[in-house]
Protein backbone atom coordinates (compact mmCIF):
# COMPACT_ATOMS: atom_id res chain seq x y z
CA UNK A 1 0.00 0.00 0.00
CA UNK A 2 1.59 3.26 -1.12
CA UNK A 3 1.21 6.42 0.92
CA UNK A 4 -1.17 9.07 -0.45
CA UNK A 5 0.50 11.95 -2.24
CA UNK A 6 0.88 15.00 0.01
CA UNK A 7 2.05 17.40 -2.72
CA UNK A 8 0.45 16.84 -6.13
CA UNK A 9 1.24 20.25 -7.69
CA UNK A 10 3.42 18.72 -10.41
CA UNK A 11 0.78 16.22 -11.50
CA UNK A 12 -1.95 18.84 -11.40
CA UNK A 13 0.11 21.26 -13.48
CA UNK A 14 0.89 18.56 -16.05
CA UNK A 15 -2.86 17.88 -16.25
CA UNK A 16 -3.39 21.64 -16.84
CA UNK A 17 -5.38 21.90 -13.61
CA UNK A 18 -5.27 24.86 -11.20
CA UNK A 19 -2.56 24.87 -8.51
CA UNK A 20 -2.03 27.05 -5.45
CA UNK A 21 1.47 27.94 -6.69
CA UNK A 22 3.62 26.96 -9.65
CA UNK A 23 5.49 23.69 -9.06
CA UNK A 24 9.24 23.59 -9.51
CA UNK A 25 11.84 20.90 -9.88
CA UNK A 26 15.29 21.24 -11.42
CA UNK A 27 17.05 19.17 -14.03
CA UNK A 28 20.08 17.53 -12.36
CA UNK A 29 18.79 18.68 -8.98
CA UNK A 30 20.74 15.80 -7.43
CA UNK A 31 24.30 16.27 -8.59
CA UNK A 32 27.78 17.67 -8.36
CA UNK A 33 26.84 21.17 -7.17
CA UNK A 34 25.81 19.64 -3.81
CA UNK A 35 28.64 18.79 -1.38
CA UNK A 36 26.57 15.96 0.10
CA UNK A 37 26.24 14.43 -3.37
CA UNK A 38 30.00 14.58 -3.89
CA UNK A 39 30.53 12.83 -0.57
CA UNK A 40 28.11 10.03 -1.49
CA UNK A 41 29.65 9.71 -4.96
CA UNK A 42 33.08 9.27 -3.37
CA UNK A 43 31.73 6.55 -1.09
CA UNK A 44 30.20 4.76 -4.06
CA UNK A 45 33.55 4.42 -5.84
CA UNK A 46 32.29 5.21 -9.34
CA UNK A 47 29.35 6.92 -10.99
CA UNK A 48 27.82 3.67 -12.28
CA UNK A 49 28.32 1.99 -8.89
CA UNK A 50 26.29 4.85 -7.45
CA UNK A 51 23.56 4.29 -10.05
CA UNK A 52 23.54 0.53 -9.45
CA UNK A 53 23.08 0.82 -5.68
CA UNK A 54 19.39 1.33 -4.89
CA UNK A 55 20.22 2.68 -1.43
CA UNK A 56 22.80 5.18 -2.67
CA UNK A 57 20.67 6.25 -5.65
CA UNK A 58 17.85 6.82 -3.17
CA UNK A 59 20.13 8.78 -0.87
CA UNK A 60 21.23 11.23 -3.56
CA UNK A 61 17.71 11.51 -5.01
CA UNK A 62 16.44 12.72 -1.64
CA UNK A 63 19.35 15.08 -0.88
CA UNK A 64 17.97 18.12 -2.72
CA UNK A 65 14.56 17.61 -1.10
CA UNK A 66 16.18 18.02 2.30
CA UNK A 67 17.61 21.41 1.24
CA UNK A 68 14.83 22.85 -0.92
CA UNK A 69 11.03 22.96 -1.06
CA UNK A 70 10.92 21.14 -4.39
CA UNK A 71 7.69 19.75 -5.83
CA UNK A 72 9.15 16.54 -7.27
CA UNK A 73 11.97 14.06 -6.94
CA UNK A 74 13.64 12.65 -10.05
CA UNK A 75 15.21 9.22 -10.19
CA UNK A 76 19.00 9.37 -9.93
CA UNK A 77 20.35 7.43 -12.88
CA UNK A 78 21.87 8.10 -16.29
CA UNK A 79 20.42 8.37 -19.79
CA UNK A 80 22.94 5.81 -21.10
CA UNK A 81 21.72 2.83 -19.07
CA UNK A 82 20.04 1.26 -22.13
CA UNK A 83 23.12 1.41 -24.41
CA UNK A 84 25.17 0.10 -21.49
CA UNK A 85 22.77 -2.84 -21.18
CA UNK A 86 23.31 -3.52 -24.90
CA UNK A 87 26.93 -4.38 -24.14
CA UNK A 88 28.75 -1.38 -25.60
CA UNK A 89 31.21 -1.04 -22.70
CA UNK A 90 30.24 2.25 -21.10
CA UNK A 91 32.96 4.06 -19.16
CA UNK A 92 33.07 7.54 -17.63
CA UNK A 93 36.44 9.14 -18.34
CA UNK A 94 37.59 12.17 -16.34
CA UNK A 95 37.52 15.24 -18.56
CA UNK A 96 35.74 13.40 -21.38
CA UNK A 97 32.47 12.15 -19.91
CA UNK A 98 30.83 8.95 -21.17
CA UNK A 99 32.77 6.78 -23.62
CA UNK A 100 31.72 3.52 -25.29
CA UNK A 101 34.44 0.94 -25.91
CA UNK A 102 32.42 -0.64 -28.74
CA UNK A 103 30.55 2.07 -30.68
CA UNK A 104 27.94 1.15 -33.28
CA UNK A 105 29.04 2.19 -36.77
CA UNK A 106 27.36 -0.10 -39.33
CA UNK A 107 24.21 -2.03 -40.17
CA UNK A 108 26.01 -5.19 -39.04
CA UNK A 109 26.85 -3.62 -35.67
CA UNK A 110 23.21 -2.64 -35.24
CA UNK A 111 21.95 -6.11 -36.18
CA UNK A 112 24.10 -7.61 -33.41
CA UNK A 113 22.65 -5.43 -30.65
CA UNK A 114 20.84 -7.49 -28.02
CA UNK A 115 17.46 -6.42 -26.67
CA UNK A 116 17.96 -5.43 -23.01
CA UNK A 117 16.02 -7.37 -20.41
CA UNK A 118 14.34 -4.99 -17.98
CA UNK A 119 14.70 -7.44 -15.12
CA UNK A 120 18.18 -8.90 -15.45
CA UNK A 121 19.95 -6.09 -17.33
CA UNK A 122 18.20 -3.02 -15.93
CA UNK A 123 16.64 -4.33 -12.76
CA UNK A 124 18.93 -2.09 -10.70
CA UNK A 125 17.09 0.93 -12.11
CA UNK A 126 13.71 -0.49 -11.14
CA UNK A 127 15.06 -1.35 -7.67
CA UNK A 128 16.11 2.28 -7.31
CA UNK A 129 12.67 3.50 -8.42
CA UNK A 130 10.82 1.32 -5.92
CA UNK A 131 13.28 2.15 -3.12
CA UNK A 132 12.96 5.90 -3.73
CA UNK A 133 9.18 5.75 -4.03
CA UNK A 134 8.96 3.96 -0.68
CA UNK A 135 11.37 6.42 0.98
CA UNK A 136 9.40 9.42 -0.32
CA UNK A 137 6.32 8.08 1.46
CA UNK A 138 4.03 10.34 -0.56
CA UNK A 139 6.04 13.51 0.06
CA UNK A 140 6.25 14.51 -3.63
CA UNK A 141 5.85 12.64 -6.93
CA UNK A 142 8.76 10.63 -8.34
CA UNK A 143 9.81 11.34 -11.93
CA UNK A 144 11.31 8.53 -13.99
CA UNK A 145 13.26 9.28 -17.15
CA UNK A 146 15.14 8.14 -20.22
CA UNK A 147 17.15 9.51 -23.10
CA UNK A 148 15.37 9.74 -26.44
CA UNK A 149 16.25 7.21 -29.15
CA UNK A 150 18.04 9.89 -31.20
CA UNK A 151 20.10 11.05 -28.23
CA UNK A 152 21.03 7.50 -27.25
CA UNK A 153 21.94 6.72 -30.85
CA UNK A 154 24.16 9.81 -30.97
CA UNK A 155 26.31 8.53 -28.10
CA UNK A 156 26.30 4.96 -29.41
CA UNK A 157 27.45 5.90 -32.91
CA UNK A 158 29.86 8.67 -31.93
CA UNK A 159 31.30 6.55 -29.11
CA UNK A 160 30.89 9.41 -26.63
CA UNK A 161 30.37 13.15 -26.64
CA UNK A 162 30.76 15.13 -29.85
CA UNK A 163 30.72 18.68 -31.18
CA UNK A 164 30.05 18.04 -34.87
CA UNK A 165 27.87 14.87 -34.81
CA UNK A 166 29.73 13.77 -37.94
CA UNK A 167 29.48 10.01 -37.41
CA UNK A 168 25.81 9.83 -36.46
CA UNK A 169 24.73 12.30 -39.14
CA UNK A 170 26.97 10.44 -41.56
CA UNK A 171 24.99 7.28 -40.77
CA UNK A 172 21.69 9.13 -41.25
CA UNK A 173 22.68 10.38 -44.70
CA UNK A 174 24.73 7.41 -45.95
CA UNK A 175 22.59 4.57 -44.63
CA UNK A 176 19.20 5.86 -43.45
CA UNK A 177 17.81 2.32 -43.34
CA UNK A 178 20.42 1.33 -40.75
CA UNK A 179 19.80 4.52 -38.78
CA UNK A 180 16.07 3.80 -38.67
CA UNK A 181 16.78 0.20 -37.61
CA UNK A 182 18.87 1.47 -34.68
CA UNK A 183 16.29 4.08 -33.68
CA UNK A 184 13.46 1.56 -33.88
CA UNK A 185 15.30 -0.86 -31.61
CA UNK A 186 15.99 1.95 -29.16
CA UNK A 187 12.38 3.16 -29.24
CA UNK A 188 11.17 -0.34 -28.32
CA UNK A 189 13.74 -0.62 -25.53
CA UNK A 190 12.90 2.84 -24.18
CA UNK A 191 9.18 2.06 -24.18
CA UNK A 192 9.78 -1.14 -22.19
CA UNK A 193 12.14 0.75 -19.89
CA UNK A 194 9.65 3.50 -19.06
CA UNK A 195 6.79 1.05 -18.61
CA UNK A 196 8.98 -0.89 -16.18
CA UNK A 197 9.66 2.34 -14.29
CA UNK A 198 5.90 3.00 -14.11
CA UNK A 199 5.38 -0.50 -12.74
CA UNK A 200 8.14 0.10 -10.17
CA UNK A 201 6.46 3.30 -8.96
CA UNK A 202 7.35 6.28 -11.19
CA UNK A 203 4.51 8.83 -11.13
CA UNK A 204 5.66 11.05 -14.01
CA UNK A 205 8.09 10.55 -16.90
CA UNK A 206 10.66 12.65 -18.78
CA UNK A 207 12.19 11.90 -22.17
CA UNK A 208 15.41 13.88 -22.64
CA UNK A 209 16.05 14.52 -26.32
CA UNK A 210 19.29 16.34 -25.58
CA UNK A 211 20.58 16.33 -29.16
CA UNK A 212 17.37 16.61 -31.19
CA UNK A 213 18.02 20.30 -31.72
CA UNK A 214 21.11 19.62 -33.85
CA UNK A 215 18.94 18.19 -36.64
CA UNK A 216 17.38 20.01 -39.56
CA UNK A 217 13.58 20.27 -39.20
CA UNK A 218 12.73 17.44 -41.65
CA UNK A 219 15.41 15.21 -40.09
CA UNK A 220 14.10 16.01 -36.61
CA UNK A 221 10.67 14.72 -37.59
CA UNK A 222 12.07 11.60 -39.27
CA UNK A 223 14.89 10.62 -36.92
CA UNK A 224 13.84 11.95 -33.52
CA UNK A 225 10.21 12.96 -33.19
CA UNK A 226 8.63 9.94 -34.83
CA UNK A 227 10.44 7.66 -32.39
CA UNK A 228 9.35 9.73 -29.38
CA UNK A 229 5.83 9.49 -30.80
CA UNK A 230 6.22 5.71 -30.84
CA UNK A 231 7.24 5.78 -27.20
CA UNK A 232 4.33 7.99 -26.17
CA UNK A 233 1.93 5.65 -27.98
CA UNK A 234 3.42 2.62 -26.22
CA UNK A 235 3.34 3.93 -22.65
CA UNK A 236 0.92 2.42 -20.14
CA UNK A 237 0.00 5.76 -18.63
CA UNK A 238 -3.25 4.56 -17.03
CA UNK A 239 -2.51 2.63 -13.85
CA UNK A 240 -4.81 -0.17 -12.65
CA UNK A 241 -5.66 1.98 -9.59
CA UNK A 242 -6.99 4.73 -11.85
CA UNK A 243 -4.02 7.09 -11.47
CA UNK A 244 -2.37 8.58 -14.54
CA UNK A 245 1.34 8.89 -15.33
CA UNK A 246 2.07 11.99 -17.46
CA UNK A 247 5.00 12.17 -19.86
CA UNK A 248 7.01 15.27 -20.79
CA UNK A 249 9.20 15.48 -23.91
CA UNK A 250 12.20 17.82 -23.83
CA UNK A 251 14.13 18.55 -27.01
CA UNK A 252 16.96 20.92 -26.19
CA UNK A 253 17.02 23.56 -28.91
CA UNK A 254 13.67 22.33 -30.19
CA UNK A 255 11.27 25.03 -29.08
CA UNK A 256 10.53 25.98 -32.68
CA UNK A 257 9.00 22.53 -33.12
CA UNK A 258 6.74 22.69 -30.06
CA UNK A 259 3.59 22.43 -32.20
CA UNK A 260 4.86 19.15 -33.63
CA UNK A 261 5.79 17.87 -30.16
CA UNK A 262 2.31 18.78 -28.88
CA UNK A 263 0.82 16.59 -31.62
CA UNK A 264 2.41 13.47 -30.09
CA UNK A 265 -0.08 13.35 -27.24
CA UNK A 266 2.58 14.05 -24.61
CA UNK A 267 1.32 15.82 -21.50
CA UNK A 268 4.14 18.34 -21.26
CA UNK A 269 6.83 19.99 -23.39
CA UNK A 270 10.17 20.95 -21.86
CA UNK A 271 11.62 24.20 -23.20
CA UNK A 272 15.03 25.81 -23.03
CA UNK A 273 15.79 29.53 -22.73
CA UNK A 274 15.95 30.21 -26.48
CA UNK A 275 12.16 30.64 -26.69
CA UNK A 276 9.54 32.51 -24.66
CA UNK A 277 6.74 30.72 -22.91
CA UNK A 278 4.06 33.11 -24.15
CA UNK A 279 5.08 32.59 -27.78
CA UNK A 280 5.02 28.81 -27.40
CA UNK A 281 1.71 28.88 -25.56
CA UNK A 282 0.23 30.97 -28.36
CA UNK A 283 1.26 28.20 -30.78
CA UNK A 284 0.16 25.14 -28.81
CA UNK A 285 -2.67 26.56 -26.72
CA UNK A 286 -3.65 24.58 -23.66
CA UNK A 287 -3.17 21.15 -25.27
CA UNK A 288 -0.01 20.55 -23.24
CA UNK A 289 1.69 21.84 -20.14
CA UNK A 290 4.94 23.75 -20.59
CA UNK A 291 8.06 23.16 -18.50
CA UNK A 292 10.88 25.65 -18.14
CA UNK A 293 12.69 27.73 -18.93
CA UNK A 294 15.26 29.69 -16.88
CA UNK A 295 18.81 29.85 -18.24
CA UNK A 296 20.91 27.87 -15.70
CA UNK A 297 23.56 30.61 -15.78
CA UNK A 298 21.15 32.99 -14.04
CA UNK A 299 22.01 31.07 -10.85
CA UNK A 300 25.45 32.71 -10.91
CA UNK A 301 23.78 36.12 -10.50
CA UNK A 302 22.66 38.06 -7.43
CA UNK A 303 19.53 37.11 -5.51
CA UNK A 304 17.79 40.16 -6.96
CA UNK A 305 18.54 39.11 -10.54
CA UNK A 306 17.36 35.55 -9.88
CA UNK A 307 14.07 36.88 -8.47
CA UNK A 308 13.67 39.27 -11.38
CA UNK A 309 14.13 36.48 -13.91
CA UNK A 310 11.69 34.23 -12.04
CA UNK A 311 9.10 37.02 -12.10
CA UNK A 312 9.69 37.54 -15.82
CA UNK A 313 9.11 33.89 -16.67
CA UNK A 314 6.01 33.64 -14.49
CA UNK A 315 4.60 36.75 -16.16
CA UNK A 316 5.45 35.34 -19.59
CA UNK A 317 3.41 32.23 -18.95
CA UNK A 318 0.60 34.20 -17.34
CA UNK A 319 -2.18 33.08 -14.99
CA UNK A 320 -3.09 29.97 -16.98
CA UNK A 321 -2.84 26.43 -15.58
CA UNK A 322 -0.16 24.14 -16.97
CA UNK A 323 3.24 25.57 -16.05
CA UNK A 324 6.03 23.57 -14.40
CA UNK A 325 8.96 25.84 -13.54
CA UNK A 326 12.40 24.47 -14.34
CA UNK A 327 15.74 25.42 -15.79
CA UNK A 328 16.17 25.31 -19.55
CA UNK A 329 18.75 22.55 -19.06
CA UNK A 330 20.65 20.90 -16.20
CA UNK A 331 22.00 22.89 -13.28
CA UNK A 332 25.73 23.70 -13.57
CA UNK A 333 28.08 21.91 -11.20
CA UNK A 334 29.72 25.12 -9.92
CA UNK A 335 26.50 26.86 -8.85
CA UNK A 336 26.31 27.92 -5.20
CA UNK A 337 23.64 25.70 -3.57
CA UNK A 338 22.28 28.72 -1.70
CA UNK A 339 21.23 30.25 -5.03
CA UNK A 340 18.97 27.28 -5.71
CA UNK A 341 17.06 28.03 -2.51
CA UNK A 342 16.61 31.62 -3.69
CA UNK A 343 15.18 30.27 -6.96
CA UNK A 344 12.81 27.72 -5.45
CA UNK A 345 11.49 30.08 -2.79
CA UNK A 346 11.02 32.87 -5.34
CA UNK A 347 8.98 30.64 -7.65
CA UNK A 348 6.66 29.62 -4.86
CA UNK A 349 6.32 33.09 -3.36
CA UNK A 350 5.82 34.98 -6.61
CA UNK A 351 3.39 32.44 -8.08
CA UNK A 352 1.16 32.03 -5.00
CA UNK A 353 -2.53 32.29 -5.86
CA UNK A 354 -4.91 33.92 -3.43
Summarize the annotated binding site as residue ranges.
28-32, 78, 155, 210, 329
Which of 14, 6, 65 is CA-nearest to residue 324?
14
Question: d(Cα 192, Cα 182) in Å, to the nearest integer?
Answer: 16
The stretches of the chain forming alpha helices (DSSP H) are: 9-14, 35-44, 47-52, 54-67, 81-85, 107-111, 123-136, 149-158, 166-174, 176-200, 217-220, 226-234, 258-262, 277-284, 303-317, 337-351
Question: d(Cα 354, Cα 351) in Å, to the nearest integer?
Answer: 10
Which sequence positions are flagged as catalytic?
A: 28, 32, 41, 78, 155
In a 3-state reduction of DSSP, which class is residue 132? helix
In a 3-state reduction of DSSP, which class is residue 273? coil
* Length in residues, the chain: 354
- Positions at the binding site for substrate: 28-32, 78, 155, 210, 329
Dihedral class, residue 112 (left if φ above 0, else alpha if ψ from -120 to 50, else beta) = alpha
Amino acid sequence: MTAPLQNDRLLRALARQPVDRTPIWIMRQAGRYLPEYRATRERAGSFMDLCRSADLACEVTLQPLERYDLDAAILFSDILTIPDAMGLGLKFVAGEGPVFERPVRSAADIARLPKPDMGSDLGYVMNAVSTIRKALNGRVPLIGFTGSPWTLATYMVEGGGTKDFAKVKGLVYSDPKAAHDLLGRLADAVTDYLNAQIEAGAQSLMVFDTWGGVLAPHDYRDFSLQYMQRIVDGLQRERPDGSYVPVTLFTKGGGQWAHWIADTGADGIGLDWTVTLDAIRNRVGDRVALQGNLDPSVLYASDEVIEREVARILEEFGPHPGHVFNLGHGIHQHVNPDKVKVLVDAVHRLSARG
